[in-house]
Amino acid sequence: MRLLFVTQDFPPDVGGIQTYSWELAPRLARRCDQFRLLAPARPGDTEIDASLDFPVDRLPTRSDLLVLRAIPAIFRLSRRMSIDVAFHVQWQTALASLLVRRFTGTPARLAVTLHGRDTVFNPFERSPLRQGYDCLRRKTVGAADHVLPVSQFLARRAHHLGASDSQISTVSNATNPDVFYPDPAPSLRSELDAEGRPIVLTAGRMVPKKGFDTALRALGHVRHEVPNVLLLLAGTGPEESSLKQLAQKLDLEAHVRFLGDLSQDQLRRHYTLADVFMMVGREVPNDVEGFGLVYLEANACGTPVIGARAGGVPDAVRDGETGLLVPPEDPAAAAEALTRLLTTPKFAQRLGQQGQERIQKEANWDRVADQIYALLHRNVDEG
């Protein structure tokens, strides 16, 4: 199979979709007869690309304008490698393949993945162009041969966007157990001045959908049951200042630490140190958590998780098996779940262990690549 992998988000940029692209691309490349990746140029990308075992074409453009540069690039590549499948991590760039196919007949098939925000965000929300953008999204998703949402929630969104049952195949996200695994760091607890304290970790970009404020309010309840509890907040973002003010308002200064952004290695050690990982997000206008890689990362480190029943999180957190689910924007329910895990360590340990086993057996990128390759290859053969 000859596959072109097109993504607006790829290292050296960082983020959830960048991780998806970085982990999936080399695994698909190993399974394909020919493979090329198309991505926007970034400072520092030369070293990244040199480390890969497949060719990368970088286009000098902003991520959101990649579709314009991608049209001539895909046209040239379609003539050079007779593309069987153009695999688009974002629906926007699939427009380029649709246009090229209309005039050349290739790529033979188009696949589009859906991740969350891409299904609801409209940059023209307050503009007359809003309806046109929504229409373009529906037509593009509806025209794809394969629509691959990463959760059941997004499969329902795909239907709303005009995709049929025959087009939709849900392939859940995963994590890399070679990157996230139990990694005790004996000095970390003392560095945090957390000797003898139960530790709760939450991590992500500090934006409304992540529910950091709900975690803080839940902590306000939990400290009465678990007086020495400590909440670690990893990440930065536009909400950081208001979250610090909320912690002060709730008189939680002795119970919280704002850690800033952590490296991958640092995050792994904090996941391992934590007794519980908690991210209780919400759906907000123009944004939604389509899955939640952080829950799998924490599970891979042996840590039980708490999430909210919002967006695609129920696919990431198996309630009562790898963690607990609570209603969104309900600090009391989040506090009850957190207290339960902190006060019943055997139960918490079982959830963490089951989460780790799930990663090893199914929620890893090798399994995801197998699923996607089998799906695409089968349909190429049938075509």
Same domain, 50 and 98: yes
Same domain, 224 and 353: yes
Distance CA 359, CA 357 (A): 5
Q: Which residues pair with 230 in a beta bridge?
A: 199
Residue 161 lies in a domain: yes
Same domain, 112 and 233: no
| Cα 375 from chain centroid (whole Å) | 21
User: Which structural domain, as residue segments, surrounds residue 104?
Assistant: 2-174+364-382
Residue 256 lies in a domain: yes
Same domain, 30 and 149: yes
- pLDDT for 129 equals 86
- pLDDT for 268 equals 98
- pLDDT for 214 equals 98
Same domain, 8 and 72: yes
Residue 180 lies in a domain: no
Residue 285 lies in a domain: yes
| Cα 249 from chain centroid (whole Å) | 32
SS3 category, 326: strand
Burial of 184 (0-12, 13-18, 19+ CB in 10 A): exposed
Same domain, 257 and 168: no
Same domain, 145 and 271: no
pLDDT tens digits, residue range 45-88? 999 999 999 999 999 877 667 788 889 999 999 888 889 999 99
Residue 179 lies in a domain: no
Same domain, 368 and 356: no
Distance CA 241, CA 213 (A): 11
Residue 51 lies in a domain: yes
Same domain, 269 and 252: yes
Q: From 288, 293, 290, 250, select the one nearest 271 (Cα to Cα).
A: 293
Same domain, 234 and 287: yes
Same domain, 163 and 210: no
Q: From 287, 115, 274, 126, select the one nearest 201 (Cα to Cα).
A: 274
Contact 230, 256 (CB under 8 A): yes
CATH number for the domain harbouring residue 123: 3.40.50.2000
Residue 242 lies in a domain: yes
Please list the pLDDT of the chain residue by residue as tens digits (383 residues). Answer: 999 999 999 999 999 999 999 999 999 999 999 999 999 999 999 999 999 999 999 998 776 677 888 899 999 998 888 899 999 999 999 999 999 999 999 999 999 999 999 999 988 888 888 999 999 999 999 999 999 999 999 999 999 999 999 999 999 999 999 999 999 998 999 999 999 999 999 999 999 999 999 999 999 999 999 999 999 999 999 999 999 999 999 999 999 999 999 999 999 999 999 999 999 999 998 899 999 999 999 999 999 999 999 999 999 999 999 999 999 999 999 999 999 999 999 999 999 999 999 999 999 999 999 999 999 998 666 55
Domains contained in the chain, number: 2
Same domain, 75 and 154: yes
CA distances from 63 to 11, 40, 66, 67 (A): 12, 6, 5, 8
- pLDDT for 41 equals 94
